[in-house]
Amino acid sequence: MTLFRRLAVGVCSLGRCKLNGVFLARQCELPAKNISVFNRNKCFIRGFCAAPTQDAVEVDINRLEGEDHGIVEVLMRRERARNSLGHVFVAQMRELVSGLRHDTGVRVVIFRSLVPGVFCAGADLKERAQMSNSEAEHFVHGLRSLMNEIAALPMPTIAALDGFALGGGLELALACDLRTAAHTAQMGLIETTRGLLPGAGGSQRLPRAVGFAVAKELIFTGRRVGGEQALHLGLVNHAVPQNKSGDAAYREALNLAQEILPQAPFAVRMAKDAMNRGIEVDIASGMAIEGMCYARVIPTQDRQEGMAAFIEKRQPKYTGE
């Protein structure tokens, strides 16, 4: 038996997709010295037998507890590359997002960076320069798919912009439902300054956020805007002065998540579904979508709890059922 087969047989089931030498392994149990494990039993293996260090974890997850139970943070931590969208980063982000999609215990997700002064710097140009034209097109197609998966998460999502969000970094933020920004943050779809156009949803989501004419101006010029101007344009929901610890936008996002948290989770999910689907169709079709979503809420225990709490003059205790 070859060395590779001895390493592979009986250890774990590898996914069929190889990303730049990285194989995605699902539900594997390997010695800690061989892998970097995050999000319980999800792991990534670099090459066939190399032993990645903790630095291999570029995207992580943090589930808040206590009164904030139900809030989950997606932590971007690729410090040396300013959270640029490389193969490993994208693969790990996709795996976490896939897990969150089916987790009914998650009520709000906050996307934040652990890298000071940056949310996400966009494309990993060093990796991109080594790709052929077809490889680059395939990779961007996968990146667009990831942003669609983030946008399709059933629970509310919030992007906390405490620093630069450029190109694909802003596209990631645009895939979220809500955005908070520090005044010092800089954001923009700067692809035209690099001979490209936004390829991960930016050309479609920015007009829906700020309007057609403003989006064209921002994309045509590749202009960057700060947090206060972004608020004025409607690009972010809240803009706050940066604090000494450099996480003012995250603190604002957490406040917003805490305001969403007590609401009936299934009703919130159905409201998101109604709005997301309704905005893409004419008003009559949108009304029909609203009616279908409303019908799904009627038989829930949460609706009965909400009515009982109102009559009894107390705070409701929602379970998501």
Q: What pLDDT, on the 0 to 100 scale, is given for residue 7? A: 39
Q: pLDDT tens digit string along 141-171?
A: 999 999 999 999 999 999 999 999 999 999 9
- Spell 83-100 as b/e; 16+ CB within 10 A means b: bbbbbbbbbbbbbbbeeb
DSSP at 114: S
Active-site entry in 123, 165, 185, 274: 123
Question: Residue 234 and residue 230: Cα distance in Å, rounded?
Answer: 6
152 flagged as catalytic = no
Q: Which two tokens stand for residue 279?
A: 């905005």
Identity of residue 305: E
Q: With bands split at pLDDT 50, 70 and 90, how would you rate the model's confidence at 39?
A: very low
Residue 58 burial by CB count (10 A; 0-12/13-18/19+): exposed, middle or buried? buried
Q: With bands split at pLDDT 50, 70 and 90, how would you rate the model's confidence at 125?
A: confident
67 flagged as catalytic = no
178-182 vs 164-166, strand pairing mode: unpaired
Residue 286 pLDDT greater than 50, yes or no: yes
Q: What pLDDT, on the 0 to 100 scale, is given for residue 55? A: 53
Q: Is the pTM of this model over 0.75?
A: yes
Residue 149 burial by CB count (10 A; 0-12/13-18/19+): exposed, middle or buried? middle
Residue 127 pLDDT greater than 60, yes or no: yes
User: Any idea how long the chain is?
Assistant: 321
Residue 123 burial by CB count (10 A; 0-12/13-18/19+): exposed, middle or buried? buried
Q: What is the 3-state secondary structure (H, E, C) of 278-321?
A: HCCCCHHHHHHHHHHHHHHHCCCHHHHHHHHHHHHCCCCCCCCC
123 flagged as catalytic = yes
Q: pLDDT tens digit string along 58-69?
A: 999 999 999 999
Active-site entry in 58, 73, 127, 191: 191
Active-site entry in 122, 167, 168, 188: 168
Domains of the chain by start residue, with CATH: 1-55 (no CATH), 58-260 (3.90.226.10), 265-312 (1.10.12.10)
226 flagged as catalytic = no
**63 membership: H or E segment, kind and range:** strand 59-63
Query: Over pLDDT 90: what percentage of the chain?
Result: 77
Q: What pLDDT, on the 0 to 100 scale, is given for residue 320? A: 87
Q: Which two tokens stand for residue 318?
A: 């929602």
Residue 23 pLDDT greater than 90, yes or no: no
Q: With bands split at pLDDT 50, 70 and 90, how would you rate the model's confidence at 27?
A: very low
Residue 19 pairs with which residues in a beta bridge? Answer: 22
